[in-house]
Amino acid sequence: MKKVVYPGSFDPITNGHLDIIERASKIFDEVIVVVLVNVDKNGLFHIEERVRLIEKVIKPYKNVKVESFDGLLINFMKERDTKVIIKGLRAFSDFEYEFQMALMNNKLDSSIETIFMMTNAQYSYLSSSSVKQVAKFGGCIKGLVPDDIIPDIMRKANK
Ligand code: PNS
């Protein structure tokens, strides 16, 4: 069984993330989305809230599940007996950061491989940070995140 782990902050999940999830679900038998802490980012949503938003939008994909983990990604992978990480790449600017993380994870556990999937061009400009900014200042986030979670994001961003 080919399993892949899709890690990220997902603060919140965007249509760009969901596009990677959908495409990965067609390649792998099982996709495990895992919400982790990125120590370099201040979160808006609590980890459990991010998981709940993801749960809402992955319902159509029967081979996709979501979990959270407090710790190193490689330790989560060990617990789930998985070896492959998938990450989306939007632009050249993502490359250095993703390259560093992939090499660090491989340094920590040499059996771990990271594969990259190019973002769909229509989402190449999209990020969770820009969604939060637009939502905070009352802009329209339709088309940027799944429709089902727009009210949750607008509510949280304007608290
Ligand atoms: O969506 P992001 O913020 O680019 O995801 C980054 C994330 C959360 C996958 C990364 O920060 C992470 O793996 N955090 C858990 C701690 C860890 O394993 N760090 C080692 C890699 S440098």
Q: Active-site residue among 2, 41, 107, 155? A: 41
**Cα–chain-centroid distance for residue 146?**
14
Spatial CB neighbours of 88, under 8 Å, sequence gap ≥ 6: 16, 17, 19, 20, 116, 117, 118, 119
For residue 138, with 0-12 CB atoms within 10 Å meaning exposed, 13-18 middle and 19 or more buried, which class applies? exposed
Q: Is residue 31 domain-resident?
A: yes
Q: Is residue 48 domain-resident?
A: yes
Query: How many domains are contained in the chain?
Result: 1
pLDDT digits 0-9 by tens, 75-99: 999 999 999 999 999 987 889 999 9
Q: Is residue 84 domain-resident?
A: yes
pTM: 0.97
Q: Is residue 98 domain-resident?
A: yes
Binding-site annotation, residues for ATP: 9-10, 17, 88-90, 98, 123-129
pLDDT digits 0-9 by tens, 8-55: 999 999 999 999 999 999 999 999 999 999 999 989 999 999 999 999
Q: Is residue 149 domain-resident?
A: no
| CATH number reported for the structural domain that contains residue 71 in this entry | 3.40.50.620
Q: Is residue 137 domain-resident?
A: no
Q: Whose CA is nearest to atom 19 of ligand 1?
A: 72
Q: Is residue 153 domain-resident?
A: no
What percentage of the chain has pLDDT greater than the value 90?
94
CA dist 12 and 84 (Å) reads 23
Please answer whether residues 149 and 131 qualify as being in contact, where contact means their C-beta atoms are separated by less than 8 angstroms.
Answer: no
pLDDT at position 88 is 96
Write out the residue range of the structural domain in which residue 62 sits. Answer: 3-124
Q: Is residue 92 domain-resident?
A: yes
